[in-house]
Structure 1
Amino acid sequence: MVKRFAVVLAAGKGTRMKSKLYKVLHPVLGRPMVQHVIEQLKPVKLDEMVTIVGHGAEKVAEYIGDDSQMVLQEEQLGTGHAVLQAEDLLTNQNGTTIVVCGDTPLITSDTYRALFDYHEQEGAKATILTAKAPNPSGYGRVIRDEQNEVKRIVEQKDANDSELLVDEINTGTYCFDNKALFDALQYVSNDNAQGEYYLPDVIEILQNRAEKICAFQTSDFEETLGINDRAALAHAEKTLKRRINDKHMRNGVTLIDPDNTYIGPDVVIEPDVLIHPGSILKGETTIRTDAEIGPHTEIDNCFVGKASVIRQSVAKNSHVGERVQAGPYAHIRPEASIGNEAKIGNFVEVKKSSIGDKSKVSHLSYIGDAEVGSNVNIGCGTITVNYDGKNKYLTTIEDDAFIGCNSNLVAPVTVGEGSYIAAGSTITKNVPEDSLSIARARQANKEGYASRIRNQKKD
């Protein structure tokens, strides 16, 4: 079995992005583009992956984690110089090394695998990933001879009139015999206008040694696109969105309007889920079967159980059980846990709280830092008063309790099982189980007093 290695080039700042964020960290559907590259390389079953970092190395490392070794390119002196930074890790290894740019997030694992296989089957020292470009202007052209073998790569500025008509372009992704690669890199010169060491020069060096050079042509030009500016970033986002949405629809998910539905690469959706337009699903979100999401709903890093419905709402870092009704205009904030058959109604905010099975918070309430039991009814306008300006405190509402409208539960406080809170109460002490608690001022009617007030206003 031939060993396989990867070198990911992620050291450039990307000045054309016109951003303080380093180029390869710009997100495509919520995931940095370099992370897309690494995730697509993983299924190839590499023996070693090395990412060359430079600008923003520490930030890049945060996203890459343990998925790849990292080597710092202190000076950015060209792509050949960048690959050479991996020499200490790879130079004496037998096998195949793929070199990939960290700004090509659309290349799929299938294409990487096919490129490896073709290179190894052909016994080539180098294989170039190529594509047919609808408009090849600006790309290096792949020139073949009468036997369809690769003759050379010619850059746009150096191409003659007939070469400019060639539409097969160099994508900047290569497979190399590993030892041949690092040997040839020793002979790459920086005698050029930019004073840099270019990786494509390795191809010419190997050709001059009469080594076999091949080209593997992908059928999808779009997947090879590099991201150099915000326009290309938007194009990549649209392409990846379409790819992901198509996958989910083929797996049995209904997207009413896929052009206006945004699903991140780590989202898991089971068959028979219905998603309405304007919905955004991202992070490590899971949506179970028969759920209905949207329209205009954002869900980030959440679990949503079977047959739950979330409309015109926002949920983040939370767990939503089965057959839950949420929204419209609910806000389920981090560390919320919503039990089965619960209801979170319009203009309800839940934060760092558990809501038990079959409990209802139907409208216009804030439930924060609370443990709510099962079969609890929380009336309109209820607030768990959890913050004194310095510390947060817990409110506990036990099973079968009934909280009247416009109640304030001043934490720390417990409402016992089966108890009732009268509407308009401000509760500051624990309520025993099976009790009625009333905490409001006694009503006093002063007859005729309204006329006096109106007359005073006239004066």
Structure 2
Amino acid sequence: MSDPNITVLVLAAGKGTRMKSQHAKVLHQAFFRPMLLHVLEAARTAGMQQQVVIVGHQRDRVRQALTGHEVELVVQEQQQGTGHAVLCAEAACRTPTVCILCGDTPLIRPETLTAMLAQHRQRRADLTLMTTMLEQPFGYGRVLRDAAGAITAIVEEKDADPKQRAIREINAGIYLAERELLFAALKRVGSNNSQGEVYLTDVVGLARAMGRVVQPFVHPVALDVLGVNSRLELAQAEAELQGRRNRELMLAGVTIIQPATVAVAPEVQVGQDCLLHPQVRISGRSHLGSDCSIGSGSLLHDCELGDGVGIGPYCVLTGCRLAAGTIIPPLTVRDEAPC
């Protein structure tokens, strides 16, 4: 169900220099789609239908990737920090509550966002920030708490002293904020820091100083909420998304041999009692009826299979429509996609 009182604001303007790539970071593929689309889908599934994406670096390519998606784009002409990015979107945020997400967090789950929003409203918070614990928190903003355990501020890695760097609780970069507080506080944030940028994290300390209710939402699974900042982390995200999808299929009655080698796109429909052998990849709008068998190493894209279809090993099929009971011999290559 759509929630009319919340806008999702996705930060997607940065270059992502640590990826060592000429492509915008949020456009890197993770399990069949750009990371940015995973984030938007999670928010949409959580009922957050009003979506704003802040673009900057390679804005035209990001805009193209969003074709067909109901989002509003806001341009950050100069990358002057996350706080500045959010300020650029003030006019686009027209609801009482704003959810801020990063476009490089493809593992965020809808149920996590739903739980965070429920807590935010139950506790009548003005600002809720998601935190998590890391054994090696290098590179992340640390969460500072007072003697009573209340959050007082976020300090970025480059601005932290040795004692603060020893803190294991980190800022996950996901926020829920009441609109009035968010933009009032951001307009008071300066750029007197090591980066010379307007930090979104400074809103936490300002909100406290303004006497507003600041609450943490501590998520126990760090992997779900952390951003992808390297090719290694991108591969880890891919493997996690693949594992989630295969678990979903197996619980629905599909047999998968060596699941770590099998990839089935989220849009693909697979009937009960289907058997997927190792190294199978099924993508596009493929639809498999019940009791189909897909041989090792076969690749299917935009295919429709009736019940009981058997595909031999190492086939490459595109756009094929196969009637129930059809048997395709090994090493078949067939492209029936419309020109």
TM-score (norm 1): 0.70
* In 2, Cα distance between equivalents of 1:56 and 1:304: 39
Aligned to 1:430: none
Match of 1:317 in 2: 319
In structure 1, the partner of 2:36 is 34
Partner of 1:73: 76
Q: How many residues align?
A: 335
Higher strand share: 1
2: CA distance, partners of 1:197 / 1:304: 54
Q: Aligned-pair distance for 1:5?
A: 0.8
Which of 57, 81, 105 aligns to 2:59? It is 57
Q: Is the contact between residue 159 and residue 194 of structure 2 (CA under 8 Å) also seen in structure 1? A: no
Unaligned runs of 5+ in 2: none
Partners in 1 of 2:4 and 2:228 — Cα distance? 32
Q: Which structure shows the higher helix fraction?
A: 2
Task: State the distance in 2 between where 1:175 and 1:113 align.
Answer: 11
Q: Name the structure 2 match of 1:15.
A: 17
Q: After superposition, what is the alpha-carbon deviation per residue over 1:437-456, rounded to whole angstroms, capped at 9, x for unaligned?
A: xxxxxxxxxxxxxxxxxxxx
Question: CA contact under 8 A between 1:38 and 1:67: conserved in structure 2?
Answer: no
Tell me the SS of whatever aligns to 1:84: helix
Give the superposition deviation at 1:47: 5.0
Question: 2: distance between equivalents of 1:12 and 1:157?
Answer: 18
Give 1:147 deviation, angstroms: 3.6
Deviation at 1:303, TM superposition (A): 1.9
- Cα distance 1:159–1:194, how it changes in 2: closer, same or farther (>3 A)? closer
Aligned-residue offset at 1:18: 2.1
TM-score, scaled relative to structure 2: 0.93
Contact 2:133–2:170 (CA under 8 A) maintained in structure 1: yes
In structure 2, the CA distance between the partners of 1:334 and 1:102, relative to structure 1 (3 Å rule), is farther
- CA drift at 1:44: 2.1
**RMSD of aligned C-alpha atoms?**
1.8
**Matched ranges for 1:191-206 at <5 A:** 191-206=192-207
Matches of 1:123 and 1:189 in 2, distance apart?
A: 27
Partners of 2:7 and 2:95 within 8 A in 1:
no
| Number of the residue aligned with 1:329 | 331
What is the CA distance between 1:281 and its match in structure 2?
Answer: 1.4
1:139 aligned counterpart, secondary structure: coil
Instruction: State the identity as a percent.
Output: 36
- The change in CA–CA distance for 1:229 and 1:326 in structure 2 (over 3 A counts) is same
Q: Which amino acid in the other structure matches residue 150 of structure 1?
A: I
- State how 1:320-399 maps to structure 2 within 5 Å: 320-335=322-337
Larger of the two Rg values belongs to structure: 1
Residue identity opposite 2:53 in structure 1: T
Matches within 5 A, 1:280-291: 280-291=281-292
CA deviations on 1:28-53 (whole Å, 9 max, x unpaired) are: 01200001111111122225210001
Cα distance change on mapping 1:259 and 1:94 into 2, 3 Å: closer
1:6 paired with 2:12, answer no
Does residue 209 (structure 1) correspond to residue 194 (structure 2)? The answer is no
CA contact (8 A) 2:4 2:50 kept: no
Instruction: Give the structure 2 partner of residue 129 of structure 1.
Output: 130
Residues 96 and 175, structure 1, Cα contact 8 Å, conserved in 2: yes
Deviations 1:203-250 (A, max 9, x none): 111111011111101121111121112111111111111111111111
